[in-house]
Chains A and B, each alone.
Chain A
């Protein structure tokens, strides 16, 4: 893996207070972190709040950013994971459940009922996974982090990550296979 952080130069400019660099960073990273927050929380409003909070932390951290210590993208994913975990914990304390009653509707209206049903089935199956397996799958499959980056974001070894991924994917295969049989 190339050890150079592709975001290092941009963060340095953000740290110097360059508004153009900050706008570029928002354009580059907001879609990624919003996607993670939406899938973690399945609530559009809460996910947007998390994305905003994450960027507030970016602005605070940028000037003291030390290149070479961690990749910025991995650090940002850790921040989003922690913000989402806090909200899920609070939700569990209040309602005893981590997921809202109504799932994020997503692009259902545009993509049709069947696709919406499949999307919902996957979302439900992933939500039912144990927390660490769910996070591992979100980071590697949906966020496209490498094994090493995802392991770093979750603060575990690559071997432990692979074990979480394999167990999670086995459960999903069984679960989604059952729901497809149910459709047929």
Chain B
């Protein structure tokens, strides 16, 4: 349940967290938004926002690409079992591809009749027409 917020608490939160209610403690935001419509609260928020804006003037340069590289270079090498698993995985992929290729080849041979077979009755393993006695 949300208790109504006192103006004193509202001012304390603005003094601490600044003029953006979304940055205040989550469980107090709804009550704060209700309070924020009152003229005294509007003044409090405006004063806090002015300080926020002044503080935002202090910017610092972003991380350079060279630093990112330097930091990334400190990463330890992946453990051997990860590399081994990766190699196993890729060799598994290779074996699976070879088996699949062989299966497709066998199926193709089974389905394609010899060139000289009568149409509709022959497979690559022979004629499936009526047998002679």
Residue-wise, chain B 2-26 has the 8 Å CB interface mask toward A (1 for contact) of: 0000000000110111100001111
Residues of A within 8 A of B1 (CB): none
Residue-wise, chain A 39-64 has the 8 Å CB interface mask toward B (1 for contact) of: 10000100010011001100100000
Q: Do the beta carbons of A18 and B59 come within 8 Å of each other?
A: no
Asked if B76 is at the interface of the complex by the 8 Å CB criterion, the answer is yes
Asked if A104 is at the interface of the complex by the 8 Å CB criterion, the answer is yes
Q: Do the beta carbons of B57 and A59 come within 8 Å of each other?
A: no
Which of B61-69, B96-104, B108-116, B118-126 lies at the interface with chain A? B61-69
User: Taking the nearest CB of chain A, how far is it from the CB of B95, in angstroms?
Assistant: 24
Asked if B52 is at the interface of the complex by the 8 Å CB criterion, the answer is yes
Residue-wise, chain A 1-27 has the 8 Å CB interface mask toward B (1 for contact) of: 100000000000000111100110011
Tell me the bound Cα distance from A162 to B17 in angstroms: 8
Asked if B131 is at the interface of the complex by the 8 Å CB criterion, the answer is no
Tell me the bound Cα distance from A54 to B98 in angstroms: 47
User: Taking the nearest CB of chain A, how far is it from the CB of B7, in angstroms?
Assistant: 15
Total A-B Cβ pairs within 8 A? 117
Closest to B75 in A: A22
User: Taking the nearest CB of chain A, how far is it from the CB of B37, in angstroms?
Assistant: 23
The listed residue (A19, A34, A173) touching B78 by CB distance below 8 A is A19
Closest to A166 in B: B15
Tell me the bound Cα distance from A55 to B67 in angstroms: 12
- B28-86: which residues lie under 8 A (CB-CB) from chain A? 47-48, 51-52, 54-55, 57-63, 67-68, 70-72, 74-76, 78-79, 82
Asked if A76 is at the interface of the complex by the 8 Å CB criterion, the answer is no
Asked if A107 is at the interface of the complex by the 8 Å CB criterion, the answer is yes
Residues of B within 8 A of A51 (CB): 63, 67, 71
Q: Do the beta carbons of B61 and A169 come within 8 Å of each other?
A: no
Given A52-B74, A172-B55 in contact, is the A18-B16 Cβ separation under 8 Å? Answer: no
- A77-131: which residues lie under 8 A (CB-CB) from chain B? 104, 106-107, 111, 115, 118-119, 121-123, 126
| 30 A-B pairs with C-beta separation under 8 A | A16-B79, A17-B82, A23-B72, A26-B68, A31-B63, A34-B60, A39-B60, A48-B67, A52-B67, A52-B70, A56-B74, A59-B76, A104-B61, A118-B54, A118-B57, A119-B58, A122-B58, A126-B58, A137-B55, A142-B58, A144-B23, A146-B23, A146-B25, A146-B26, A147-B25, A158-B25, A163-B16, A166-B16, A170-B15, A173-B51
User: B residues within 8 Å of A by Cβ?
Assistant: 12-13, 15-18, 23-26, 47-48, 51-52, 54-55, 57-63, 67-68, 70-72, 74-76, 78-79, 82
